[in-house]
Structure 1
Amino acid sequence: MSTANQGPPGLGAPGHANKQAHITTKKQPDEIQLIGATLDFNPLPTRPPWPQHKISVSFPSGNMTLQKGFEVTSKITSPFTWNVEGYTPILVDNEMRVVVKETIKGSLEHVFDLATIGSTVKYTRSLKLTFGQSKEAQDALAINLTHASGALASKKSILERMGYARKFLGLVSSFSDAIGDLHPAARIAMGVFDLLYKKLEEQEETNSSILELLNSLLKLLPFVDNADDAVMKLRVTREVVEEMFVHIQKVSDFALKLADGNEIQSIMSSVAEKASKFTVQLTALKEKYDRCIAHETLTAVQEVDIKSSLKLLNPVGISYGSGDGCLEGTREDILTKITEWASLGDSNVFWLHGPAGSGKSTVATTVALKLQRGKGGTFFCKRDSEVQRKAASIIPTLVFRLAKALPAFGRLVALVIEEEGNVGSSIDWQFENLLLGPLKLLEKEKGSIQSHLWVIDALDECYPQTDREMLVQKLCSLQETAPWLKIFITSRPYEHIDSAFKRSTEAVIEMDMKDLEGTSSDIGLFLEDCLNKIAKKQRRVPYNLWLSEKEKGALLHKASNLFVWVSTMQKYLMAALDFKTSLHTILNTESSTKEEFGHLYSLYSTVLGETDDAMFSSNHAFMGKIVTAIVITSRHSALPPDALAFLLNEDLSSIQNVLHNLKAVLHVDGVIRVHHPSFLDFIESNSHPERFHYPNKKLNAKMMERCLKGLSEHLEFNICGLETSYLANKDVQELGFKIQHRISPLLIYSCLYWVEHLQESGELLEEPIKHVIYDFITSPKCFLWLEIFSLLELVSQAISIIDKLKLQQVVNQI
């Protein structure tokens, strides 16, 4: 059995969607042997200090006798090859899991689990696992191939050869994961072959004609020894091997009749002639087999080119997890409607809308989690994510998912990309060339294509607004071309989105979260679940010891049918140091306004107020500065705490204290993010307490100044240490790795957004700040700034930024 790579190429690419490994059988599980593994990991930075790290690989599958894997450190030369000690059988009737863990400076940073979609690694480039047959089958095959080439001289030798051939055919037919659809032919051939073996075993003498016939058959059988599991999975190869089994059955059946004396040679052609006919047929089969292998090898090479082209789509990774879906027993009505529409609905678009916090994203996540693998695609928009808020990322991402599911579509898209050299940034161009054009070429096959479902969540959080409207109109127009493609979209009910749907000539299913049946009871179930979690965290089980039914009803009333209120309350009370006081505050705080989000905004104000008290500080401006800065940066790109500390020129530990006390509304997953975008609305609308207000223009001016300071300090010639400037970015080896380690998130943010901060400052700049701008744009650092755009392949964005800079009055005055 040949080597099989169980991990996809580019295993370490962040955001890459990794597939689970499924090898199943219909009846008995196959048994193969894990032989070893080769781990190739990315090099460390060329400059000291080198971070000490190790990479460990384990196989936690319950169906494997091997529980331990191996680990390597940065001192080991890449690639690292590991050979399994002893006999390690694997029954491949279940999922096989592979877990890669990367540890840096003693703390776990990255985990890749083959069974988890969207998991990524940083230092691991590729992991190749090598398998073989089980030891018993391997030995049987080796013996068979040795004896099958020997000459036939006697009944003893023919029986010996047939015995080995029986084992060989049994081995081939046992690989049901590779040739599952050949089982009927394989079983019939094996059955007839076994009968013939037993018949000859009983006879004292064997007819020479039978020996001649079997000799012709057995001499050709070994050509299948190169039909490993990878080859056997190829469609053309399967067809040839299926024919092979049919001929084995015919030859064995004919020989069996001869052995029984039931075949009258005078009636039919001579045995020699018939044997010759079978030989010709089997020889033709072998030639066809050889041709199809060559064809499939060529196709495989073409597939590599197609995959390379599709990678240019740069799809956005999956950003949701299994814990983000609906609580079991809730939202059953809307989920049933969506399921029925996806299966039987005439319209190809379903629009679910509702206010912030009403549970749209939770419903979208649940729908996405129920998607069959390879039968859909998702895009979850996020306004504080640089890539997830770009409307121009939606079509390429969804096209990439569809291209993986429909190879014919993928080939057509790859041709477009190869011809154009890019995937475009215009929604109109992307739709016409990457989606509609290839779909029209598939139109004749649309009746045979299985239904696919796309999920687009929080469309209102992608920018610019004009692209949202165009995207809605374009997607709605796919009804006639691709009726099998269903598109589920969620958003807030903004007027411009509503108008875009209404302008569509195609029917669109529309549903308002406010109109859903059972919302109050669903909120009640969710509240019950959250209260139990609070009780467990605070070690106050059961919750009815500290919360009466009347108080529970008060909480349900404050939720106002917003799931986000309940989830924020849960986070707030789970982290509360003075639990009784915090609970009392929530129960006795009235709505700050009679509007829809009154109780939610009151809860947010409570969180801010308690954080200020917890810091024993009356410096409300400091709190307001941090919160306002988080909102400002979220419009551009979420930042890690140390980068935010630099831009604000504040102590990192002070900022971390604020973040810790705001866990009910913020979380840090490498960068600072809000739990829910409604908190950003709360701050941007100035609905938060006035003592936490901070002047936006003043803060933008300060952040712009600090961006320029960061650029002046950290920009340098050939920042990525490239060996030559004569290569295009795509031809530079490990450029992505070099960028990741040489260009910090702070430097990237400063490059991309210092002009944005200048715009938002209203140019109310003091003279010292104007001098900072002048010093930067007239220094060689300005050219190094533009080099960053080239490395990031954002030259078009650099041009746009320079155009904005030219319009600034302060620049024209310099």
Structure 2
Amino acid sequence: MSATSVQDYWAIAGNVVEETAKPNDPSEWISTLIDGIDTVKGMIDAVKDLHPAAAIAWGIVSSCVNVLKHATERDKTVLRLYEAMITTYKEASDDRLLWQRKQLEPIYKSLFQTTNECGILIKSYMNKNHFKRFFSLNVSQKAEEFIQGFANLREQLDSGVAKDALVVTLGIGAGVDIIVMRSLLWELRPRQELGPKSTCMQGTRVETINALVSWIGECDDSILWCSGLAGTGKSSLVGTLHSLLSFHTSSRSRLAAFIRYDRTEYPNSSELITSIAYSLGMFDQRIGHAIAAILTASRAAVKMPASESRTQFRLLLQGPLETIPELQDEGPLVVIIDGLDESDVSKELLEVLADGFGPTLPFMRLIISSRPEEKIYRVFKSYPHICCFPLDTSSDEVKEDIRHFIQQRFNGIEDRSAWSEYNERQVVAQLAQRASGLFIWAVTACSFLCNFPSLERLKALLQTTIPADAMEALTILYQTALETAMSEVSGRKEDVRRCIRAVLGALIVRKGNMTVPMLPELVLQEGDPSAQLIIDKLGSV
């Protein structure tokens, strides 16, 4: 993903501002009640020595009034925070010319990041019922920090001096010696870690991404299953979420763990729970301290069979997180598992994932991305609290995004003279129609056309029939690409077909890395086309 501009930060913050409802002003009757009880207190003080029961009664009433006072003050503080957020955001939105000044850019980015963080805090507080609000002990302090933060940012902008960007810290304490803690966590470190596979092209999947971000901030259920056929863009979506949650949504990363599976590179699910625990511990020292304490007490938690997945999940994840009550008021923490269908996940582990982190950890979010494979579907359908998020290949958003993707790829081709007899806009529309909602089709087709821009290749794609469904779309595309590649390599048709099959077979069968110089010795014969030529022609598939 390209570097995020102030405009991008502003757009994300705008969604947060729009979705954050104004908190209610504390009711006047509560203030009147508190004032009246304070008046009665003087009367009770005069008689409490003569009537001990009065003193006991007042003690009970007084404690209740104190709780009510604190709750009312918190409500007022959150309301002041909302007003500060709205005021600052509107003022900054009117200063777009100043966004272009390099010395002010970090201040504006920080301001919009703080707006996102503030919105998360307000929505989290307002989503609690009144009883739970009484015990939100840290909200007032954090709200005051945000209010002061907005004031500092406005002061920086007024002075025109670019200072260090303000970050509202959420209090990560150094409760243990870091070296000792990390040495214990190192035992949980997975043998392999895969980063995001891809991200969405800027300007695409906007509605879908906004829906996922809104779910993270406001959901009642803490598990979301993003499912879709191969090629529908699941990995790109979670890759974009990875970027947004790590760097762009707020001043503090919201992504606590990211696990990606690949059936060739990393299919081993036996390390899933320990991998999440390792990521959580490295993400926040308080969590790391709590997990390290478990490992100190029992190293057996590191290696447990699939049948003990629930016990391991409880020991390494739920238990440690429950020992840090202040996490409740610090906003959501997100765990993403991409490509679960490409792992060897067991039924026992699927059932543990389906239960999620549980009601005692409402701030935890679990996002799982996979194809709707039978074994996954069979387990997840039995859990009504799981938010199912299927990717629709027929939506207008997807069709427009694929068209936009193809157009942007075409814009990167310097010489399109070979296609001059075609209207480019019509070509883009026809190709998008043949994609049948599959982003992988668009990616492959664009690689096929852009790597070797020729009239023959374009005609070959446009002459294909419009597929009935997504699977047929991919079949037709790959068949067309292979037939065209075969026609472009000189030699007898049968020999060229044999070479292409041999190269593809070698790439599929060999598990380790395969290099082009290895191919002639392994599968090609004397007089065959060069291995590099064949690979170049097959680049799109």
Query: If the length of structure 1 is used for normalisation, what is the TM-score?
Result: 0.40
Q: Choose the corresponding residue for 1:492, options 368, 371, 375.
A: 371
Q: Which amino acid aligns with 1:450?
A: G
Aligned to 1:580: 455
Query: Are the equivalent residues in 2 in contact too, given 1:645–1:655 (CA < 8 A)?
Result: yes
Aligned to 1:380: 260
Query: Are the equivalent residues in 1 in contact too, given 2:436–2:469 (CA < 8 A)?
Result: no
Deviation at 1:648, TM superposition (A): 5.0
Q: Deviations over 1:568-594 (max 9, x none)?
A: 1111111116x1111111111336x75
What number of residue pairs does the alignment pair up?
365
Equivalent residues in 2 for 1:273-352 (5 A)? 302-315=177-190, 316-320=192-196, 324-352=198-226
Query: Are the equivalent residues in 2 in contact too, given 1:530–1:570 (CA < 8 A)?
Result: yes
Query: Are the equivalent residues in 2 in contact too, given 1:451–1:486 (CA < 8 A)?
Result: yes
RMSD: 3.8
Query: Are the equivalent residues in 1 in contact too, given 2:499–2:524 (CA < 8 A)?
Result: no
Q: Deviations over 1:218-245 (max 9, x none)?
A: xxxxxxxxxxxxxxx9x99x9xxxxxxx
Query: Are the equivalent residues in 2 in contact too, given 1:399–1:435 (CA < 8 A)?
Result: no
Deviation at 1:403, TM superposition (A): 0.9
Change beyond 3 A, Cα 1:655–1:408: same
Change beyond 3 A, Cα 1:656–1:319: farther
Q: Which amino acid aligns with 1:395?
A: I
Query: Are the equivalent residues in 2 in contact too, given 1:351–1:509 (CA < 8 A)?
Result: yes
Are 1:522 and 2:401 matched, yes or no? yes
Deviation at 1:325, TM superposition (A): 2.0
* 3-state SS, counterpart of residue 350 of structure 1: strand
Rounded Cα–Cα distance in structure 2 between residues aligned with 1:319 and 1:357: 18
Change beyond 3 A, Cα 1:584–1:473: same
Rounded Cα–Cα distance in structure 2 between residues aligned with 1:422 and 1:659: 47
Aligned to 2:291: 413
Query: If the length of structure 2 is used for normalisation, what is the TM-score?
Result: 0.59
Aligned to 1:626: 503
Deviation at 1:425, TM superposition (A): 6.5
Q: Which amino acid aligns with 1:598?
A: E
Unaligned runs of 5+ in 2: 1-102, 108-144, 149-168, 248-252
* 3-state SS, counterpart of residue 510 of structure 1: strand
Rounded Cα–Cα distance in structure 1 between residues aligned with 2:484 and 2:421: 25
Deviation at 1:517, TM superposition (A): 5.2
Q: Choose the corresponding residue for 1:606, options 476, 480, 505.
A: 480
* 3-state SS, counterpart of residue 352 of structure 1: strand
Deviation at 1:336, TM superposition (A): 1.5
Deviation at 1:548, TM superposition (A): 4.7
Are 1:553 and 2:429 matched, yes or no? yes
Equivalent residues in 2 for 1:204-223 (5 A)? none
* 3-state SS, counterpart of residue 341 of structure 1: helix
Query: Are the equivalent residues in 1 in contact too, given 2:309–2:349 (CA < 8 A)?
Result: no
Q: Which amino acid aligns with 1:632?
A: V
Are 1:615 and 2:494 matched, yes or no? no
Deviation at 1:370, TM superposition (A): 0.4
Rounded Cα–Cα distance in structure 1 between residues aligned with 2:295 and 2:205: 41
Q: Which amino acid aligns with 2:540?
A: A
Change beyond 3 A, Cα 1:423–1:482: same
Deviation at 1:524, TM superposition (A): 2.0
* 3-state SS, counterpart of residue 450 of structure 1: coil
Rounded Cα–Cα distance in structure 1 between residues aligned with 2:395 and 2:435: 16
Deviation at 1:420, TM superposition (A): 2.4
Deviation at 1:310, TM superposition (A): 1.7
Are 1:479 and 2:355 matched, yes or no? no
Deviation at 1:417, TM superposition (A): 4.4
Q: Which amino acid aligns with 1:384?
A: T
Query: Are the equivalent residues in 2 in contact too, given 1:460–1:491 (CA < 8 A)?
Result: yes
Aligned to 2:90: none
* 3-state SS, counterpart of residue 470 of structure 2: coil
Q: Which amino acid aligns with 1:307?
A: R
* 3-state SS, counterpart of residue 392 of structure 1: helix
Q: Choose the corresponding residue for 2:229, options 355, 379, 395.
A: 355
Aligned to 1:401: 279
Deviation at 1:638, TM superposition (A): 5.0
Change beyond 3 A, Cα 1:662–1:459: same
Equivalent residues in 2 for 1:91-490 (5 A)? 302-315=177-190, 316-320=192-196, 324-372=198-246, 374-376=253-255, 377-385=257-265, 387=266, 389-417=267-295, 419-420=298-299, 423-424=302-303, 426-429=305-308, 432-433=311-312, 436-444=315-323, 445=325, 446-463=327-344, 466-467=345-346, 469-477=347-355, 478-490=357-369
Change beyond 3 A, Cα 1:358–1:421: same
Query: Are the equivalent residues in 1 in contact too, given 2:294–2:316 (CA < 8 A)?
Result: no
Aligned to 2:92: none
Rounded Cα–Cα distance in structure 2 between residues aligned with 1:427 and 1:650: 48
Query: Are the equivalent residues in 2 in contact too, given 1:312–1:423 (CA < 8 A)?
Result: yes
Rounded Cα–Cα distance in structure 1 between residues aligned with 2:483 and 2:208: 37
Q: Which amino acid aligns with 1:621?
A: R
Query: Are the equivalent residues in 1 in contact too, given 2:338–2:368 (CA < 8 A)?
Result: yes
Rounded Cα–Cα distance in structure 2 between residues aligned with 1:649 and 1:317: 35
Equivalent residues in 2 for 1:62-101 (5 A)? none
Question: Would you tell me which structure has more strand in proportion to its own residues?
Answer: 1
Deviation at 1:327, TM superposition (A): 2.5
Report 1 or 2 for greater relative contact order, CA contacts < 8 Å, sequence distance ≥ 6: 2
* 3-state SS, counterpart of residue 308 of structure 1: helix
Rounded Cα–Cα distance in structure 1 between residues aligned with 2:342 and 2:181: 32
Rounded Cα–Cα distance in structure 2 between residues aligned with 1:574 and 1:553: 17
Q: Deviations over 1:311-343 (max 9, x none)?
A: 23233434337xx32233322222121111101
Query: Are the equivalent residues in 1 in contact too, given 2:301–2:316 (CA < 8 A)?
Result: no
Query: Are the equivalent residues in 1 in contact too, given 2:304–2:312 (CA < 8 A)?
Result: no
Change beyond 3 A, Cα 1:561–1:512: closer
Rounded Cα–Cα distance in structure 2 between residues aligned with 1:654 and 1:425: 51
Change beyond 3 A, Cα 1:344–1:436: farther
Rounded Cα–Cα distance in structure 1 between residues aligned with 2:214 and 2:393: 21
Change beyond 3 A, Cα 1:640–1:414: farther
Query: Are the equivalent residues in 2 in contact too, given 1:395–1:431 (CA < 8 A)?
Result: no
Rounded Cα–Cα distance in structure 1 between residues aligned with 2:245 and 2:377: 27
Change beyond 3 A, Cα 1:421–1:476: closer
Q: Which amino acid aligns with 1:582?
A: R
Change beyond 3 A, Cα 1:440–1:448: farther
Rounded Cα–Cα distance in structure 1 between residues aligned with 2:385 and 2:438: 32
* 3-state SS, counterpart of residue 367 of structure 2: strand
* 3-state SS, counterpart of residue 274 of structure 2: helix
Deviation at 1:436, TM superposition (A): 4.6
Q: Deviations over 1:23-69 (max 9, x none)?
A: xxxxxxxxxxxxxxxxxxxxxxxxxxxxxxxxxxxxxxxxxxxxxxx
Unaligned runs of 5+ in 1: 1-90, 96-179, 184-232, 239-295, 666-814
Q: Which amino acid aligns with 1:380?
A: R
Q: Which amino acid aligns with 1:345?
A: C
Rounded Cα–Cα distance in structure 1 between residues aligned with 2:384 and 2:407: 44
Change beyond 3 A, Cα 1:359–1:346: same
* 3-state SS, counterpart of residue 528 of structure 1: helix
* 3-state SS, counterpart of residue 188 of structure 2: coil
Question: Would you tell me which structure has more helix in proportion to its own residues?
Answer: 2
